[in-house]
Amino acid sequence: MLVNAKQSCVLTIKVEDMEKALQFYTKVLDFEVSKHYGENIVSLVHNEIPIVLEKCDEATSAGGQKVLLGILSDNLDEDVNRLREKGAKILFDESMPCPPGRYNMIEDPFGNQLELVEFSNFQ
């Protein structure tokens, strides 16, 4: 288990057309929009793990991973360093900013990406 990870914290769904995605998730599945983070990221109301729709281009989504699991980290730098020492493939040299704080990505042996998220903007 990660040093400071406690739980899964977000599920991101990559979509090519945000309008079409919102139509499906709100009208068909009855989710409600929680918050818009600009034009490309929308959070949906969900009681357990937040569901985020993120717009991506066709080239990014073609044959690629479209659902991304986010794992909560209380200390992203420590967790990234520990995972790097254990041989995990870390995708970014430096953790990146995101609406709730910072994140980095790791890749499992099969090419699936997992997002490590630190909610520093909510503390």
We report the CATH number of the domain holding residue 28 as 3.10.180.10
Mean pLDDT score of the chain: 85
CA distance 82 to 80: 5
Residue indicated by tokens 């970014």: 92
By residue range, what is the domain housing residue 72? 5-122
Is residue 9 scored above 90 in pLDDT?
A: no
- The tally of domains found in the chain comes to 1
Amino acid at 77: D
Is residue 40 scored above 70 in pLDDT?
A: yes
pTM value?
Answer: 0.73
CA angle, 74 then 77 then 82, to 5°: 95
Lowest mean pLDDT segment, chosen from 4-8, 51-55, 84-88, 101-105: 4-8
